[in-house]
Amino acid sequence: MRLLALRMRNFRQHADTEITFRPGLTGIIGPNGAGKSTILEGIAWAIYGAQAARGTNDTIRFIRAGARSRVEVELSFGLGAHEFRVVRTLNSADVYLDGGIAPVASTLGGATAYLQQRVGMTREEFFNTYFTGQKELQFLAAMGPTDRGRFLSQVLGYERLRRAQDLVKARKTELRAEIKGLRATLGDREGIVAARLGAEQRVTDAMASLKAAKLAVEDAESELKMVQPRWVQAQASRERFRELTHAMQSAERDRESARRDLDRAARELEAVSAAEAELAPLRAGLAELPSVNDQCSRLSELARQDERRKALARQTAELDAELERARERLEKVATAPELERRYAEELERLRAERAAAETELEEKKSAWLVDKQDAWTKLSGYRDRAAELREQIKQIQTLGPEGTCPTCGRPVGADYERLLEELEEQWGSLVQDGKWWARRHEQLEPKPEDVAELETRVRALSEAIDDRSRKHTRCQSAVRERDELSADLTQRVARREELGAEIQALPSGYDAAEHRQAEKRLGELRELEKRAARLDETAARRPHWAAEQEAAGARQADAVERGRAAAAERGALAFSEEAFAATRGEHERADVTLRGAQLHAADANGNVRTAEEAVQAARRAETEFEERSRAVEAQETDLRYHDELDAAYSELRQELNDQVRPELSEIASAFLSQLTDGRYTAMEIDEAYNLMVLDEGEEKPVISGGEEDIANLVLRLSLSQMIAERAGHPLSLLILDEVFGSLDVARRDNVVQLLHHLEDRFEQVILITHIEGIRESLDQVLRVDYDERAGTSRVREENVTGGEEFPEAPMAAD
């Protein structure tokens, strides 16, 4: 695999970064946090999508990019004889083959699956093959044999066997718990069988009891059927006896009611005769009622007119008083128009005087404040300059001739005395000028007399204006009042004339005594009229009461006849309460016997159902026992299978590890011979995963720090080679991210030189580091910086020899 080009837009802190990768040893150099490792993340994200990103897609977008800005990574790489170009965004991905314009794979999932199939590696295998992480070489050196063996298994993919074995162990634990739980719920077989047999016996006993109870119910029903006809006949006789008794009582009540109606009709007819006798003299006395009524009506009208005259007289007197008050008020406000005109002229004159005084006051006050502020500004400037000179003088006096000039920055030297004298002279002059401006500021601090006098005059004029304004307002109100009074006076005079004319038109001659006497006589006649009306109403009811008397006699005769007929029928019925009670007792005893037999039968039937349910429950318990027993046997069989599978996984892992060490040792020996120019030709990994360098077939007991670096690098390269070979691709790319860690300069240079020795094996090696000292040993240098102002990472290619940026190939753009 060969990286050709990479472009990132709005990917994390890379707003717009474009890189062209070259063969050989390439260094991506920059400070920590500049965005170096993000370049590797962009490469992995382009191939494997979200699963290769740190965090989620929500954190990938450049933080200062707009909400709709496009996040895009475009990667070009070679694999075998083909070149691939993948363009991935947050929502889409396209893969192009050998410069084609139509994508060979689209969609996020489709592009990822296609590239993974062509690369022949999962994301984990890709990282383990081509990437060596930060401090991983020192990490391998610091591992113990057990941890080193576990790490080797993990990067070679054997960790999946361990995870599978862990799943087997977890399932074994679950099976043991399930078997234990099933055994706890099995119960006792003999007890379950005994419970079933007992329940079946209870069913047999309950069925016998139910049969006997049903026979008892049949006997009780037969006895009740024999008594039932006599009981029905007895109830019918009793009901008819009660109906006839009620009919006799109703006839007696009707006869008594008819007798009372006869007595009432007789009394009312006597009252009618008395009313007819009293009514004749009353009608003679009511002959004068019409004339007395007319007299009262005439006198009532005269009384109403007399009250109207008195009311009009009171209104006339009140109106005369109001006219007098209105004329007096009109005389008082007669001078209001003249006063209003005079106060208006005074207001205009006073306002003009106040405006002129305010203008003059504003001019003089502004001039005073300007002079005062100017004096304070000058005084502050002299004070600041004096303090600055005083500080410079102190500085020169403290440092002496060896000090520097505070203005030009040159050494003072021989000009020390002259410079100090000039500064002292300047400081003295500033002090004198400052004192003069201080006195000037003190003089201007109090308010000038002409300003104070003008303020007093403005206040006096304002008070005078307020006074004239109030008086002018009152005069305006008085003028309006005068106009309103004149109009009102005219209306009131006209009303006075109307009232006088109305009084003259009213009739006279009302006599109150005569009116009272007529009203008294009319009241007496009205009472006689009411009495005559009541008597006339009573006399008019003679036909009604005569008819009522006749109807009551007929009802009395009918009631007597109905009572005799009901008494005769009841006597013929021959009903006896004692015989009825005996029949009822016999029927109740038969009914109680039947209900008791029915209750006993229901209890027996319930006992049968309960016993049958107990049999069913016992049989279910027996069936469940058999099912759980079979389940326990199946789980125990499954547990035995998992025990065997666990042991098989352990044997397989051991066998694979035993196979890995010779193969890994063979690959490592080839790398070691090439890196050391044939000085060392063999490396072995023992059963404890210890690294052993062989010198002419013998283990070298002591190796130097540089030789240890070689051993660790050889081991990591051998792992990558093994993974790549199993994926079916040659190992032509190697990416090392901050592998130097805390190595000193000599050991760093040693690792770089070792990588140069592998150029014929690795077409492309990329080193990501913040260490500047290795740049001279690289074939290509990519500089990564972080622009704090723009918040973006910038990548540029540097000239390896001179450190100048290649002008023809810019690697980043805003």
* pLDDT tens digits for range 669-697: 877 777 676 777 787 777 666 677 777 66
CB 743 within 8 Å of CB 751? yes
* Pair type for strands 698-699 and 691-695: antiparallel
Residues 738, 686: Cα–Cα separation, whole Å: 29
Residues 623, 627: Cα–Cα separation, whole Å: 6
Average pLDDT over residues 114-135: 76
Query: Of 37, 2, 41, 40, nearest to 21 (Cα)?
Result: 2
CB 800 within 8 Å of CB 780? yes
Residues 190, 622: Cα–Cα separation, whole Å: 10
Each residue of 383-409: pLDDT tens digit?
888 888 888 888 888 877 777 776 666
- What letter represents residue 294's amino acid? D
712 sits in the region (left: phi over 0; alpha: psi -120 to 50; else beta) called alpha
Task: Return the structure tokens found at 309.
Answer: 């005259």
Under the banding of pLDDT at 50, 70 and 90, the label for residue 227 is confident
Query: How far is the CA of 305 from the CAs of 301, 473, 510, in angstroms?
Result: 6, 50, 9
Given this model, what pLDDT does residue 702 score?
Answer: 46
Given this model, what pLDDT does residue 9 score?
Answer: 94
Q: How many C-beta atoms lie closer than 10 Å to residue 137's C-beta?
A: 23
Residues 376, 368: Cα–Cα separation, whole Å: 12
Given this model, what pLDDT does residue 89 score?
Answer: 93
CB 330 within 8 Å of CB 489? yes
Task: Write down the pTM of the prediction.
Answer: 0.42
Percent helix, percent strand, percent coil in the chain, to nearest 5: 70, 10, 15
Is residue 91 classed as helix, strand or coil in its secondary structure?
coil
Given this model, what pLDDT does residue 521 score?
Answer: 77
Q: Is the pLDDT of residue 785 over 80?
A: yes
CB 22 within 8 Å of CB 811? no
Given this model, what pLDDT does residue 105 score?
Answer: 92
Q: Is the pLDDT of residue 496 over 70?
A: yes
Query: Of 388, 431, 421, nearest to 406 (Cα)?
Result: 388
Q: Is 586 exposed, middle or buried (0-12, 13-18, 19+ CB in 10 A)?
A: middle
CB 297 within 8 Å of CB 487? no
Question: In which order are the strands placed within the sheet that holds 82-89?
Answer: 14-20, 2-11, 72-79, 82-89, 93-97, 105-106
Residues 765, 779: Cα–Cα separation, whole Å: 10
Residues 454, 279: Cα–Cα separation, whole Å: 112
Residues 724, 558: Cα–Cα separation, whole Å: 132
Average pLDDT over residues 247-255: 85
Given this model, what pLDDT does residue 77 score?
Answer: 92
* Pair type for strands 2-11 and 14-20: antiparallel
Under the banding of pLDDT at 50, 70 and 90, the label for residue 804 is very low
Each residue of 398-457: pLDDT tens digit?
877 777 776 666 777 777 788 788 888 888 888 888 888 888 888 888 888 888 888 888
Residues 83, 93: Cα–Cα separation, whole Å: 17
Given this model, what pLDDT does residue 807 score?
Answer: 39
Given this model, what pLDDT does residue 16 score?
Answer: 92
Residues 407, 92: Cα–Cα separation, whole Å: 65
Q: Is the pLDDT of residue 742 over 60?
A: no
Under the banding of pLDDT at 50, 70 and 90, the label for residue 87 is very high
The residue length of the chain stands at: 814
Secondary structure element (H or E) that encloses residue 784, with its range: strand 780-787
46 sits in the region (left: phi over 0; alpha: psi -120 to 50; else beta) called alpha
Q: Is the pLDDT of residue 178 over 60?
A: yes
Phi, psi of 651 (to 5 degrees): -65, -40
Give the side-chain half-sphere CA count within 13 A for 284: 3
Q: Is 681 exposed, middle or buried (0-12, 13-18, 19+ CB in 10 A)?
A: middle
Residues 1, 727: Cα–Cα separation, whole Å: 12
Task: Return the structure tokens found at 30.
Answer: 């920059």
CB 183 within 8 Å of CB 653? no
Q: Where are the beta strands (DSSP E) in 448-531?
A: none
Given this model, what pLDDT does residue 6 score?
Answer: 94
Highest mean pLDDT among 3-12, 567-576, 579-588, 636-645: 3-12
Under the banding of pLDDT at 50, 70 and 90, the label for residue 812 is very low
Query: Of 440, 375, 390, nearest to 420 (Cα)?
Result: 390
Tell me the pLDDT of the chain averaged across its residues: 80
What percent of the chain clears pLDDT 70, i.e. is strictly above it? 89
Is residue 60 classed as helix, strand or coil in its secondary structure?
coil
Under the banding of pLDDT at 50, 70 and 90, the label for residue 700 is low
Q: Which domains does the chain have, with CATH numbers?
A: 2-141+732-798 (3.40.50.300), 334-479 (1.10.287.510)
Please name the residues in contact with 119: beta carbons below 8 A apart, sequence gap of 6 or more.
Answer: 1, 47, 79, 126, 727, 729
Q: How many C-beta atoms lie closer than 10 Å to residue 604's C-beta?
A: 18
Say which residue, 138 or 232, is predicted with more confidence.
Answer: 232
Query: Of 323, 452, 436, nearest to 382 (Cα)?
Result: 436
Residues 541, 275: Cα–Cα separation, whole Å: 11
Task: Return the structure tokens found at 584.
Answer: 């009822």
Given this model, what pLDDT does residue 56 score?
Answer: 78
Query: Of 470, 449, 463, 462, nearest to 357 (Cα)?
Result: 462
Lowest mean pLDDT among 68-72, 192-196, 528-532, 739-743: 739-743
Q: Is the pLDDT of residue 651 over 70?
A: yes
Given this model, what pLDDT does residue 805 score?
Answer: 47
Q: Is the pLDDT of residue 721 over 80?
A: no
Residues 724, 210: Cα–Cα separation, whole Å: 88
Please name the residues in contact with 559: beta carbons below 8 A apart, sequence gap of 6 or more.
Answer: 251, 252, 254, 255, 258
